[in-house]
Amino acid sequence: MKKGLIVAFVLILAVVFTLPVFSGGEKEAASGTKKDLVIGKIPITMEANYHQAHVKHLIAYAKEAYGADVTVIDGEFSSDVAMSAVETFIAQGVDGILLHSIDEKVIDSMAKESLRADIPIVTFYIPTASRSVPHIQINEAETSFQMGVAAAKKWKEWYPDQPIYIGVIDYLTVEIVQKHRTGPFIAGVMSIDPSAQVVSKLEGSASVNKAMEAMQDMLQAHPEVNIVYGANADHALGALAALENAGRGKAENGKCLTEIVVGTDGTEGELLKVYDPSSSMKITQGLQPAVNAKAEMDMLMKIINGQVPRDEWLELDTYDKFISYWDTPIEDAQEFISYQYFSDVDLKEAIASK
């Protein structure tokens, strides 16, 4: 009798310890071997240095922190391409999707399709129109405003009798860029000089060449422009190249002669110009690809693990770094690009040997 009870108890324990193997469903195989997570990542474009660094950080962090593999499909700055990528990931049966695309309404459709397939999705920078899934937002308004203030103060310090004329190379149709970047930057300038005028806003797309052409057109129509804002690194560097080709874009010991150029991203290319005392590009805000990649991966894992609902709005903010020639030591900028952008360029050496 006693022997029979012991056998029965052992059988019960065997059943109990076997249950998790099957209750894990898609996450665990019947053999008890846990299946590696596969995450689908859709960046808005892989042409930009920021997104290249973001993806690189994401792949490393997902593997290190969660043992997850990341598959990347370039969104190519196209809603159609991003939608196709979502459909591809759904067909592959990935465990989660990280999405950065351009149109809130189309992102809504992508999110709904993913949820119908029982695949959690996290949006980045541009949310769903209906605010229906968890979202990671770079809150750039504060640093954008700060850049406008810094540019206006310097111009008024140097040229107190010259009116401020603002020119912008922009993503004209991307509402969130206007909300977080361009709008606050202009407001920052106006807070110092309410008489400042925006004389031109032109489309830069996601291209240095397009931004360069736009700046050339701006100079033809408005040569008086003296504060130039580029809504990303390509916009700012393209605008600066056009200014340099026109014999402008210069500074003497950090004092800008004809305009101050301001950027956004904080890439190696930008910082080489920001810290060059002979260049008129002097301010940017550094996006943090490592911080942002970790934030979106952590959020997705919380959904997968049941800590956060997959079909409810939750916004988590991350922030940029204000960087200027006058206010940020070059050593801090060096540390920033070495870590955030995997840069092996020595800013001091590169600028000194120019």
- Domain spans in the chain, listed from the N-terminal domain onward: 33-138+289-318, 141-287+321-352
Task: Tell me how many degrees the CA angle 271-196-145 measures, rounded to the nearest 5.
Answer: 45
Tell me, what's the pLDDT at 82? 98
Exposure on the CB side of residue 8, measured as CA atoms within 13 A? 5
pLDDT in tens, 275-308: 999 999 999 999 999 999 999 999 999 999 999 9
Tell me, what's the pLDDT at 354? 82
Tell me, what's the pLDDT at 11? 36
- Overall CATH class of domain 33-138+289-318: alpha beta
CATH architecture of 141-287+321-352: 3-Layer(aba) Sandwich (3.40)
pLDDT grade for 34, boundaries at 50, 70 and 90: low
Q: Is the pLDDT of residue 21 over 80?
A: no
Contact 45, 72 (CB under 8 A): no
Exposure on the CB side of residue 212, measured as CA atoms within 13 A? 10
E runs forming strands in 103-188: 121-124, 135-138, 165-170
Calculate the alpha carbon distances from 35 to 29, 30, 38, 298 in Å.
7, 10, 9, 19
Q: Which of 15-29, 190-204, 303-317 has the lowest mean pLDDT?
A: 15-29
Q: Is the pLDDT of residue 4 over 50?
A: no
Average pLDDT (235-241) is 98
Q: Is the pLDDT of residue 145 over 60?
A: yes
pLDDT grade for 22, boundaries at 50, 70 and 90: very low
Percent of the chain whose pLDDT exceeds 90: 88
Tell me, what's the pLDDT at 342? 97
Amino acid at 75: G
Average pLDDT (263-283) is 97
DSSP 3-state percent helix, strand, coil across the chain (nearest 5):
50, 20, 35
What is the pLDDT of the chain when averaged over all its residues? 91
pLDDT in tens, 48-86: 899 999 999 999 999 999 999 999 999 999 999 999 999
Characterize the bridge pairing of strands 281-286 and 260-262: parallel
pLDDT grade for 206, boundaries at 50, 70 and 90: confident
pLDDT in tens, 92-135: 999 999 999 999 999 999 999 999 999 999 999 999 999 999 99
Q: Is the pLDDT of residue 44 over 50?
A: yes
CATH topology agreement for domains 33-138+289-318 and 141-287+321-352? yes
Tell me, what's the pLDDT at 35? 74
